[in-house]
């Protein structure tokens, strides 16, 4: 038996052992949905998978109608359920969740175990590839590695894993996508186009994650892969539309603005807690008014995204790399960080679990930035700030959200500056 095969067998054995432990000590102990004295409580993953299960195996149609949710939940609980959650996922999620929904017909805990192992596996596989690649290229800076570990093992992110949030998978997909962009940066055509299309397809579970993935492809000039990804997503959506009925489109478009409304209907309000989100809207709505912060959030988010896309299109027309466009003086990595940062800071609705998207930013800095030593006062301060940010939900309800938001903006801005310093270092070497 050669050493490589032995290592793979050991990894497989450890993986199976950890999966069994996760299933027994965590999955089997979770109450996925409870209803008592009129009080309804449900885990996020359980909510999604109940909808997916009802869609595929119980003949339900338009998953974006309120009565669909009420009927599916009532059948699962065995009691009338009135309150529901706004379903921001796309029909792509139904396709991705099909095998997990099938398993949930027999065991919700096993379905949750498989989904969690899949999501965590994708994330750790992406991180493993990146760290190995970074050590092969150069002696990597310790600061982004430290920040990545603080994020990965923070209590808030562990709660995201516990809840089966899609952001865990999205972080892994974005990291792996960026890893491919960096590894094939010197090639005119990527040999991994099929893998890239698959990654974007899975990011299509949620529109913001898909937008970040497509934005990354456009920044790096991978227009062919972006086009193939969009075509695949459209083909799959068209394929499931007969099951959804064509009414799903207006229903879905009606739900999406719900996240940015000032007056959220009572039927949805129970599932949206702005005080638990470290975004611009939560931080400043009590200071300048909800209407103003919603307007600013939308304007900044769309302006940044359209600007990044515009720069990418301009670079394509000019036939130049983005970092060669004068007088912009920006790098591809800076645009990518700006894209993710605008989402983390200004998205009208981005739960605290989305903070795991700090990881793609830190990975970008790891591969392309220039950071101070981990023992410097700046590095220690940044690490402490990140620790505070990721624990913000544990603070008292009257915590100064505007201060926490400013700290979040500070660390994201500093990461952007690290990439600028990294570019200047490359230019000085050249």
**Sequential DSSP letters for 229-244:** HHHHHHHHHHHHHHHH
Q: What is the mean pLDDT of residues 64-79?
A: 88
3-state secondary structure at position 278:
coil
Residue-wise pLDDT tens digits, 195-234: 999 999 999 999 999 999 999 999 998 999 999 999 999 9
**pLDDT score for 3:** 65
The owner of tokens 């645009």 is 335
User: DSSP E strands: which ranges in 150-283?
Assistant: none
Cα-flanking dihedrals φ and ψ of residue 88, to 5°?
-85, -5
Contact 421, 370 (CB under 8 A): yes
Per-residue burial over 69-78, b if 16 or more Cβ lie within 10 Å, else e, is bbbbbeebee
Mean pLDDT throughout 278-293?
Answer: 88
Q: In the structure encoding, which two tokens stand for residue 342, read together?
A: 């605008």
Closest CA to 74 of 51, 52, 91: 51
DSSP 74-132: HHHHTS-----------HHHHHHTHHHHHHHTT-HHHHHHHHHHHHHHHHHHHHHHHHH
Classify burial at 249, counting beta carbons within 10 Å of its beta carbon; exposed 0-12, middle 13-18, buried 19 or more.
middle
**Structure tokens, 44:** 């996020």
Q: How confident is the model at residue 426 (pLDDT cuts 50, 70, 90)?
A: low
Torsions phi, psi for 44 (to 5 deg): -60, -45
Question: Is pLDDT at 2 greater than 80 in this prediction?
Answer: no
- Dihedral-angle region of residue 65 (phi above 0 means left; psi in -120 to 50 means alpha; beta otherwise): beta
* Separation of alpha carbons 381 and 309, rounded Å: 34
In this predicted structure, the answer to whether residue 189 has a pLDDT above a threshold of 60 is: no
The two structure tokens encoding residue 416: 């952007």
The structure tokens 């997990």 sit at 100
The answer on pLDDT for 12 being more than 90 is: no
Tell me the two tokens of residue 194. Answer: 């099929």
The DSSP H or E segment spanning 42 is strand 39-42
Question: Could you tell me which of 180, 169, 132, 192 has the C-alpha nearest to residue 48?
Answer: 169
What does the radius of gyration of the chain's CA atoms come to, in whole angstroms?
22
Q: Helix 401-429 vs helix 358-368: angle between axes, to the nearest 10 degrees? A: 20
pTM of the model: 0.94
Opening angle at CA 258, ends 34 and 82, nearest 5: 30
- 374 phi, psi to nearest 5 deg: -65, -25
* Model confidence pLDDT, tens digit, residues 308-350: 999 888 888 877 777 776 666 788 999 999 999 999 999 878 8
Task: Give me the mean pLDDT over the 258-285 stretch.
Answer: 78
What does 146-171 look like in DSSP terms, one character per residue?
HHHHHHHT-HHHHHHHHTT-HHHHHH
Evaluate whether 67 touches 87 at the Cβ level (below 8 Å): no
Whole-number pLDDT of residue 228: 95
Residue 161 confidence (pLDDT) above 50: yes
User: How is residue 324 written in tokens?
Assistant: 């060669």
Cβ neighbours of residue 332 closer than 8 Å, sequence gap 6 or more: 219, 220, 321, 322, 323
pLDDT band at 18 (very low <50, low <70, confident <90, very high): confident
Mean of per-residue pLDDT scores for the chain: 87
Total Cβ atoms within 10 A of residue 168: 23
């Amino acid at each position: 038996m050669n050493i490589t095969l032995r290592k793979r067998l050991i990894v497989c054995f450890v993986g199976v052992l950890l999966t069994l432990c996760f299933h027994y000590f965590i999955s089997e102990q979770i109450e996925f949905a409870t209803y008592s004295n009129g009080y309804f409580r449900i885990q996020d993953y359980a909510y999604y998978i109940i909808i997916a299960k009802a869609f595929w195996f119980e003949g339900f149609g338009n998953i974006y109608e309120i009565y669909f949710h009420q009927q599916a939940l009532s059948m699962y609980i065995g009691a009338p359920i009135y309150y529901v959650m706004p379903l921001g996922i796309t029909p792509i999620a139904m396709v991705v969740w099909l095998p997990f929904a099938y398993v949930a017909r027999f065991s919700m805990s096993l379905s949750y175990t498989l989904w969690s192992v899949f999501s965590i596996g994708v994330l750790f596989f992406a991180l493993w590839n990146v760290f190995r690649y970074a050590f092969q290229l150069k002696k990597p800076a310790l600061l982004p590695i430290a920040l990545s570990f603080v994020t990965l093992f923070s209590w808030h992110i562990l709660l995201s894993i516990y809840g089966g949030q899609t952001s865990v998978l999205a972080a892994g997909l974005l990291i792996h996508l960026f890893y491919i962009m960096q590894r094939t940066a010197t090639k005119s055509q990527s040999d991994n186009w099929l893998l890239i299309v698959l990654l974007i397809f899975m990011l299509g579970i949620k529109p913001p994650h898909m937008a970040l993935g497509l934005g990354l492809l456009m920044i790096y000039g991978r227009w062919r892969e972006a086009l193939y990804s969009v075509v695949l997503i459209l083909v799959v959506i068209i394929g499931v539309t007969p099951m959804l009925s064509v009414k799903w489109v207006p229903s879905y478009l009606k739900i999406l603005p719900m996240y940015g409304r000032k007056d959220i209907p009572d039927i949805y309000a129970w599932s949206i807690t702005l005080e638990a989100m470290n975004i611009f809207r939560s931080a400043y709505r009590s200071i300048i008014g909800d209407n103003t912060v919603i307007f600013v959030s939308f304007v900044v988010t769309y302006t940044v995204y359209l600007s990044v896309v515009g720069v990418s299109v301009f670079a394509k027309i000019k036939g130049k790399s983005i970092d060669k466009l004068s007088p912009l003086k920006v790098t591809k990595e800076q645009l990518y960080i700006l894209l993710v940062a605008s989402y983390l800071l200004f998205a009208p609705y981005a739960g605290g679990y989305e903070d795991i998207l700090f990881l793609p930013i830190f990975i970008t800095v790891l591969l392309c930035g220039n950071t101070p030593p981990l023992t410097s006062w700046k590095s220690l301060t940044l690490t402490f700030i990140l620790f505070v940010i990721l624990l913000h939900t544990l603070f008292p309800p009257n915590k100064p959200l505007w201060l926490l938001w400013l700290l979040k903006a500070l660390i994201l801005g500093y990461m952007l500056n690290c990439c600028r310093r990294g570019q200047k270092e490359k230019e000085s070497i050249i």
